[in-house]
Amino acid sequence: MGNKLRVVTQMASDPYYVYHFLAFFSYFIVRTSVTSLLSPRITHRLFHREIQAILAFSVLIVIKMVKEETRESFIAESLFFAKVFLVAISSIMDYHLALVYIVVFSVIYILTQQPPFEGLGTSSKLTPLQLEALLTEGNTSRYWLVEFRTSCSSPCIRASRCLPELSITYSNKNLSFGIVDLGLFPNAAEKFGISVSASMGHLPTFILFENAAEVKRFPEFKFEEKSSHPPVTKKLLSRHFELDQLLLEYVNGK
């Protein structure tokens, strides 16, 4: 209950959510104001399109609730579909209104960013120097799974919950988790072979180190020539880095 209350409080105070709420709420004000000015034919058509949009949006929401693994990804997809439906319905009243909403949503996109997951689980926020020290000292974990992200990347925001929640399940004396913000330390990107360009699809990048040596990463270098890779999920990361196997090795004392 406390966690849900915290989420609601965050959404009520964050500009990203506040601006979107105001934009969607304005439709009801406009709808009420212009109803008397519309012809019966347009009013009838608008009502039916609104019902269709609500039903279609509800179906999409249910599908996304089943498919999306993180709350951040679910919110992002839901808002996207809501904006598409709002613009489409607004165009029935007046295409100028639809253009206004397109401009409004564009401004919101420029001025605000969807907030990432704020919890860390048992993972640690690290600077590149701290990470290098932890990897080379030799008296810390044998394995380090590190996420390299930026706070202005939509894929990073959508996946921001995965590593912290994995750390709660898999952290032990042999395996630790860390997060490096390349937005704060862009020079570290080249060192680890990561491009911060959105077109390269490198962000977020997850690298598993064993005794300071890179063992595996996601996305792998073979994705470099492509613009996309499978969406980041906890299941994908757990399977790709064989976290269950690493946990079993720790339990069995290997």
- Structure confidence by residue, pLDDT tens digits, 55-102: 999 999 998 887 767 888 899 999 999 999 999 999 998 899 999 999
Confidence grade of residue 253 (pLDDT, cut at 50, 70, 90): confident
- Asked if pLDDT for residue 4 goes beyond 80, the answer is no
Question: What tokens appear for 157 in the block?
Answer: 């925001």
Which of the two residues, 113 and 200, has the higher pLDDT score? 113
Closest residue by Cα to residue 207 from 128, 117, 140, 122: 128
Backbone angles phi, psi at 103, to 5 degrees: -65, -45
- pLDDT at position 125 over 50: yes
CB 53 within 8 Å of CB 89? yes
What residues does each domain of the chain span?
A: 2-111, 124-251
Name the nearest CA neighbour of 215 among 130, 165, 145, 110.
145
pLDDT-derived band at 136 (thresholds 50, 70, 90) equals confident
Spatial separation of the C-alpha atoms in residues 31 and 38, rounded to whole Å? 10
Q: State both tokens at 72.
A: 């951040």
pLDDT confidence of residue 120: 83
Q: Is 139 or 164 the better-scoring residue by pLDDT?
A: 164
> What does the pLDDT look like over 163-199, one tens digit per residue?
999 999 999 999 999 999 998 998 888 888 888 876 6
Q: Of 184, 126, 120, 123, nearest to 150 (Cα)?
A: 184
Provide the pairing of β-strand 175-181 with 143-149: parallel
Give CA angle at 148 (191, 190), nearest 5°. 20
User: Is cis: bond before 219, omega within 30 of 0?
Assistant: yes
Average pLDDT on 17-28 reads 94
Architecture of domain 124-251: 3-Layer(aba) Sandwich (3.40)
Q: Which residue has the higher pLDDT, 64 or 18?
A: 18
Cα–Cα dist 167/56, whole Å? 37
Q: What pTM was estimated for this model as a whole?
A: 0.81
- Provide the mean pLDDT of the chain: 87
Model confidence at 9, in pLDDT bands (50, 70, 90)?
Answer: low
User: What per-residue confidence (pLDDT) applies to 2?
Assistant: 47
Looking at residues 216-221, what average pLDDT do you find? Answer: 86
The reported pLDDT for the residue numbered 91 is: 92
